[in-house]
């Protein structure tokens, strides 16, 4: 390919990326940590009949005190393997058990009201396809009964409409409370909680192979920039 053709191709690529826009790269945190992410609420449906069962599905959304999902919403991650016990100090029914649970699938929506949004981008939300989602749950038992429970969750994903853009999303304190609905809505039982102390990272994008090929020609560089509940 001639140098002029390469330059033209790169210029067209640059124009397309600028026209399309992209999520804003950066680190974000929830309001109580000094950021702008709205805390949320989550549910996990017991599709498999009880906690930790394969098929149990997570649904979580921002909660502004009045309405769910005005800023972000996670739907669809389902347990894909039996939980692993990381720690068990229970003796005589009293102690702590820490479970690590992996999930598969799911979609995270980031609304255009969030600090990640680039003005002029099409639509009203960025769609993130979840590539990794896990829960680390700590249960405290007294006399064989759970008296306290908390879950730290971690998510990784890629933006559906912006190749090369990825995200990591972590909730360090998810404790029992209420909301939102189970997914699927046919689930008869499950758990609810509040999602707090959220941290999110959108790193600089990784160029796609076609882009890397153009850059490798050396023309010039592109900078692309839980209360548990049983329902009736």
Euclidean distance between CA atoms 122 and 108, whole angstroms: 17
| pTM strictly above 0.85 | no
pLDDT at 166: 92
In tens digits, the chain (232 residues) has pLDDT values of 554 444 444 444 444 444 458 999 999 999 989 999 999 888 899 987 889 999 999 999 998 988 899 999 999 999 999 999 999 999 999 999 999 999 999 999 999 999 999 999 999 999 999 999 999 999 999 999 988 888 889 999 999 999 999 999 887 765 654 456 777 777 778 888 888 889 999 999 987 654 444 333 333 222 322 444 443 3
pLDDT at 165: 94
pLDDT at 194: 84
pLDDT at 230: 41
């Amino acid at each position: 390919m001639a140098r002029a053709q390469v330059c033209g191709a790169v210029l067209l690529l640059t124009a397309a990326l600028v026209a399309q826009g992209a999520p804003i790269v950066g680190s974000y945190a929830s309001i109580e940590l000094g950021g702008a992410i709205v805390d949320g609420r989550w549910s996990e449906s017991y599709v498999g009949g009880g906690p930790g069962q394969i098929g149990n599905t997570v649904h979580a959304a921002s909660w502004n005190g009045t309405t769910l999902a005005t800023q972000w919403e996670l739907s669809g991650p389902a347990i894909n393997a039996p939980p692993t016990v990381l720690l068990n100090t229970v003796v005589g029914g009293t102690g702590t058990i820490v479970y690590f649970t992996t999930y598969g699938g799911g979609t995270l929506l980031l609304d255009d009201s969030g600090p990640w949004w680039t003005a002029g981008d099409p639509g009203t939300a960025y769609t993130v396809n979840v590539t990794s989602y896990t829960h680390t749950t700590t249960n405290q038992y007294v006399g064989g009964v759970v008296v306290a429970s908390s879950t730290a969750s971690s998510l990784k994903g890629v933006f559906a409409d912006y190749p090369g853009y990825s995200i990591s999303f972590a909730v360090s304190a998810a404790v029992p409370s209420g909301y939102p609905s189970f997914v699927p809505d046919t689930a008869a039982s499950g758990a609810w909680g509040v999602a707090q102390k959220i941290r999110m990272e959108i790193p600089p994008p990784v160029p796609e192979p076609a882009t890397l090929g153009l850059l490798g020609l050396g023309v010039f560089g592109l900078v692309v920039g839980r209360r548990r509940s049983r329902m009736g």
